[in-house]
Amino acid sequence: QVQLVESGGGVVQPGRSLRLSCEVSGFTFRTYGMHWVRQAPGKGLEWVAVIWYDGSKKYYADSVEGRFTISRDNSKDTLFLQMNSLRGDDTAIYYCARDGISMLRGVSERLDVWGPGTTVTVSS
């Protein structure tokens, strides 16, 4: 069964860093692009970043560009999000999600499998 499980969330002070992980199972991870999406309290979904299936391309939302880095380890079926210089408005539930088209040398809007999310709270 296809499964994504995020971890690494927690409470962190403004300006500090945090690294999120997303372990996957039930499908061939190395053939799918992966996304991070977040939802701040009382707000809607916000796309954060995407990485191609082979890791060769990465794209970010303007709100996190230069502070966050998406990466993957295809040998360990794991996706990462390194978050630096965290701010209060980064407080959110962070979801990893699978791009719904395998072996796509691009990005699709079809996010067909999601993890349960991990909560990040940025507060002093």
Partner 1 sequence: SSELTQDPSVSVALGQTVRITCQGDGLRTAYASWYQRKPGEAPLLVLYGNNDRPSGIPDRFSASLSGTTASLTITGAQAEDEADYYCNCRDSSGNHVMFGGGTKLTVL
Site for partner 1, rule CB under 8 A: 35, 37, 44-47, 50, 57, 59, 61, 95, 97, 100, 106-117
For partner 1, give the closer residue by CB, 73 or 112: 112
We find the least distance from the C-beta atom of residue 26 to partner 1, in angstroms, to be 14
State the Cα–Cα distance between residues 110 and 17, nearest whole angstrom.
30
For partner 1, give the closer residue by CB, 17 or 25: 25
Going by C-alpha positions, the residue among 54, 53, 84 that lies closest to residue 66 is 84
Going by C-alpha positions, the residue among 79, 64, 68, 63 that lies closest to residue 30 is 79
We find the least distance from the C-beta atom of residue 36 to partner 1, in angstroms, to be 11
We find the least distance from the C-beta atom of residue 112 to partner 1, in angstroms, to be 5
For partner 1, give the closer residue by CB, 19 or 110: 110
State the Cα–Cα distance between residues 47 and 70, nearest whole angstrom.
13
C-beta neighbour count of 56 within 10 angstroms: 8
For partner 1, give the closer residue by CB, 14 or 92: 92
We find the least distance from the C-beta atom of residue 32 to partner 1, in angstroms, to be 14
